[in-house]
């Protein structure tokens, strides 16, 4: 006879698998960055997806090196924001937005300089996130002054913990 699995055992196994996948993704990022070396050093690249011509960089390998230099930190920031349990984790959206704009600018062949005027696009994100984080911080310290709770207990009180990945995504949008 088999014993029915307890919910905690199933959740622990699921968390272990998810944690292992996340740790593996983080561990292989140096190898992912070296993928640019497998791209040919020429102006056009014929693949089974189609032909790509690098007009701005004039070398597909340089374009791939530049893109991977932006995509790898963006991947790590996404992992960080979806696994962070601190009250301030929403502020990680600012560097995420910055890297997304940088990737868009790198792909835009008409730009003269790759990282020009992106602060203008980041201002709305920062205008929402920075005051929000400050208000949460002020609420935490007001509660500390009024109650005898530790900072860790207050972080737990303000922490939003959705049940799954899509719940975490819905929390942001």
- Output DSSP code: residue 35: G
The answer to which of 17-21, 71-75, 124-128, 160-164 has the lowest mean pLDDT is 160-164
Rounded distance, CA 4 to CA 71, Å? 44
Kindly report the pTM of this predicted structure.
0.62
pLDDT confidence of residue 169: 60
Instruction: Summarize the confidence of residues 141-164 as an average pLDDT.
Output: 63
pLDDT confidence of residue 125: 75
Confidence at 71, pLDDT banded by 50, 70, 90: very high
Quickly tell me which residue has 């640019």 as its tokens.
36
pLDDT confidence of residue 58: 83
Q: Does residue 76 have a pLDDT over 80?
A: yes
**Sequence-distant (≥ 6) Cβ neighbours of residue 63 within 8 angstroms:** 54, 56, 57, 106
How buried is 70 (Cβ within 10 angstroms: 0-12 exposed, 13-18 middle, 19+ buried)? buried
Confidence at 114, pLDDT banded by 50, 70, 90: very low
Rounded distance, CA 40 to CA 60, Å? 7
pLDDT in tens, 50-60: 887 787 888 88
**Sequence-distant (≥ 6) Cβ neighbours of residue 165 within 8 angstroms:** 82
């Amino acid at each position: 006879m088999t014993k029915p699995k307890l919910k905690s055992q199933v959740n622990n196994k699921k968390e272990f698998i998810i944690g292992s996948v996340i740790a593996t993704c983080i561990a292989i990022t140096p190898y992912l960055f070296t993928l640019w070396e497998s791209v040919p050093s020429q102006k056009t690249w014929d693949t089974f997806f189609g032909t790509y011509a690098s007009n701005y960089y004039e070398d597909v390998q340089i374009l791939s090196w530049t893109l991977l230099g932006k995509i790898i930190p963006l991947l790590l920031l996404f992992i960080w924001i979806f696994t962070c349990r601190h009250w301030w984790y929403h502020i990680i959206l600012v560097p995420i937005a910055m890297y997304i704009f940088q990737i868009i600018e790198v792909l835009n062949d008409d730009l003269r300089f790759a990282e020009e005027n992106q602060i203008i696009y980041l201002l709305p994100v920062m205008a929402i996130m920075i005051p929000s984080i400050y208000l949460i911080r002020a609420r935490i310290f007001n509660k500390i002054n009024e109650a005898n709770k530790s900072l860790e207990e207050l972080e737990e009180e303000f922490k939003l913990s959705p049940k799954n990945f899509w719940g975490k995504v819905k929390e942001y949008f």
